[in-house]
A and B are shown apart, each in its own frame.
Chain A
Amino acid sequence: MTATIDLEVREGVDRETVETVQNMGSYKYGWETEIEMDYAPKGLNEDIVRLISQKNNEPEWMLEWRLEAYRRWLTMTEPKWAMLNYPEIDYQDQFYYARPKSMEVKPKSLDEVDPKLLATYEKLGIPLKEQMILAGVEGASPSPAMDMAIAATEGRRVAVDAVFDSVSVGTTFKEELAQAGVIFCSISEAIREHPELVKKYLGSVVPQSDNFFATLNSAVFSDGSFVYVPKGVKCPMELSTYFRINAENTGQFERTLIIADKGSYVSYLEGCTAPKRDTNQLHAAVVEIVVLEDAEVKYSTVQNWFPGDEEGKGGIYNFVTKRADCREARAKVMWTQVETGSAITWKYPSCILRGDESQGEFYSIAIANNMQQADTGTKMIHLGRNTRSRIVSKGISAGKAQNTYRGLVTMHPRATNSRNYTQCDSLLIGDQCGAHTVPYIEVKNTSSRVEHEATTSKVDDDQLFYCRQRGMDEEEAVALVVNGFCREVLQALPMEFAMEAQSLVAISLEGSVG
């Protein structure tokens, strides 16, 4: 019985994709919320850093930490090694803090939150009410397969932290999570309420001085999410953060810190959207994950920032540092990402496999259409003995886009008997786009093994004709074939996200054929 349900669930999921493709225009999150905002003055200097710290009511040590990062940042230069082409970013020509006026006095509960903000998330299809989430795709028509899908996910709820421009609007299910000992709140709240945890772990995975963008983030991060799962606790529900950039000309710098204590488990989802604008916007986030002995963290991202228009006007510049530290034995981390948005993507979620027998996995779908450029991949740093890592990357390029997989696998001398398996597949749609694979492999001991497989293929005309002979139009056929190409990664996503991701894959490729 279980097997059949599973089958039908998957069927339901796939069908939604196709429906969604047909029902949607291109980027459907491109609208903006009209709301009164408080901005910090334009540009960046020590006073701005102080202002951000003050707006968040931070203790002195946090301000010092920021200032240290800021001074460091002044001495650094933007990295240029990625296969990305974009005009010089003027760091003085943007805002570093934007907060809805209504958030000046922090609402005590979601009931007190400005209805306009709540409406924004509702329109994005993000559940800010503490209820069962039913289906991931809006407008999903109720059908027996869907009912079964719902039944199968029953009891699966998702706690949400909603971040609007620079501030966290609210977090759901906090009390229930607290009963389990799980702390899930905005990072600004964690700095005030749980300073011992923040002091201990902030910057311990991605140091202040790690790289240009991470250092900038350390100086000016405004908000983000904080998670602590205590020893032996399996987090009773999935946690998620939805980032919404709304304000124009404003950089978004969130900071996420997740700590999974010994023997704990948590699955965390991250979603992002932004309005359509014809100017570029900077997004430089940092995510740090600390995984202790026998703990496991799954981190899934559906990145759907505005990618810019067909001519390459507008869109988000996405420079993100994400790193997990499997600090102790048998710690396990799994990154799954679906990167469909952004004009520029610069992102390498990494695993430091420090603990013996620790494991890191990276599953990625990166789609670049029109003028988008993506330079993304992962780093697997094997430090402990018998460590394992697995990389599955699916890159899809269409239009005039450039898509680069950049991956590093290092086996240190102490990391004996370790294994890495990398599979890196690129799919090209049309003949004006490019796919590049740049693997770096360093093995410094004799007992470890690294396997790397890479393929590049074109969307197959015979496959498309076969689909069309059966009645699908060309876009539907491409969506189906590409979803098939991505299947392994889609299946690594939590159910709700898988549905969203499938339709996103299709939407991102609109206009790529014909």
Chain B
Amino acid sequence: MLKIENLHVKLEEEDKQILKGLSLEVPAGQVHAIMGPNGSGKSTLSYVLSGRDGYEVTEGSATLDGESLLDMEPEERAAAGLFLAFQYPVEIPGVGNMTFLRTAVNAQRKARGEEELSSGDFLKLVRTKAAELQISPDMLKRPVNVGFSGGEKKRNEILQMAMLAPRMCIMDETDSGLDVDAMRLVSDGVNALRSPERSFLVITHYQRLLNHIQPDVVHIMANGRIVKSGGPELALQVEQQGYGDLLAEVG
């Protein structure tokens, strides 16, 4: 599904290298977790994959089912099935959450040459998904993320993910700021989406999330590279011992 090879990325504006030869492969149907110290480049990776401005790829490649992501516009990547749940969801004043969702869903369908969702079908779908995530009708009506609590914003990201049904879901610290119940809701939401055709890349600092969403592989990222990969036990090790020993071990 997602294949990243030897990715080198620097900031466009300054001479600062952030990703330094990162390689990673997430096969279809799998859940991979990325853990790593603050500033190791996890969010940068998610932004580069989704096409945000401000970064320059100096070397390496990233493909989604063999198609190079790096040459596509952000909206083309989205239509190809790449979704990013933002670490810091963006507020859009004056634009109703529902309007935003509907516009996004139909934009993607249109880009893929599919029929637009009728408003009836859309409403039915959004109400069901919102109820599952305990997102109130009021929140659907309010402007996108404006005045939402931290946890509400994160749940809203998952609602968008559920509505857009992407193939490749990247979640950047979706668990940060969630209370115990919200964590369960979000995990249930993600688990419901798990399928042989869909993959997840879950960026997190806490092993806790991985109790709910069982990962197939856990990667440790440091200083712009994946330095170690392993099974779920790797997350437990991080939780118990921190990164010190792990990083010393790999040099």
Contact surface of A with B, Cβ cutoff 8 Å:
4, 7-8, 10-12, 14-15, 18, 22, 143-146, 460-463, 465-474, 476, 480-481, 483-488
Contact = CB atoms under 8 A, between A and B. Distances in A.
A282 to B, nearest CB: 35
A15 B119 contact: yes
Interface in B135-160: 137, 140-141, 143, 160
17 contacts: A7-B137, A11-B119, A12-B119, A15-B99, A18-B106, A143-B119, A463-B90, A468-B78, A469-B77, A470-B107, A471-B79, A471-B108, A471-B111, A473-B73, A474-B75, A480-B95, A480-B99
Contact of A468 (B73, B100, B120): B73
A480 to B, nearest CB: 6
A143 B123 CA distance: 12
A473 B106 contact: no
- Chain B at the A interface: SS class: helix
Contacts of B86: 466, 469
A14 B103 CA distance: 9
Contact of B94 (A15, A22, A483): A483
A485 B92 CA distance: 9
Interface string B193-226: 0000000000000000000000000000000000
Contact of A15 (B50, B83, B102, B143): B102
B64 interface: no
Interface of B: 50-53, 73-75, 77-79, 83-84, 86, 89-96, 98-100, 102-108, 110-111, 118-120, 123, 137, 140-141, 143, 160, 164
Given A468-B74, A469-B75, A469-B77, 8 more contacts: A7-B140, A18-B103, A18-B106, A143-B120, A460-B90, A463-B91, A470-B160, A480-B99
B95 A481 contact: yes
A465 B100 CA distance: 13
B119 A146 contact: yes
B53 A11 contact: no
Contacts of A469: 50-52, 74-75, 77-78, 83-84, 86
Given A470-B78, A480-B103, A463 B92 contact: yes
Interface-centre pick from A8, A465, A488 (highest chain B CB count, 10 A):
A465
A145 B95 CA distance: 18
B102 A472 contact: no
Contacts of A12: 119
Given A143-B120, A480-B92, A472 B99 contact: no
A14 B99 contact: yes
A481 B100 CA distance: 10
A471 B104 contact: yes
A470 B100 contact: yes
A474 B105 CA distance: 15
Contacts of B105: 471
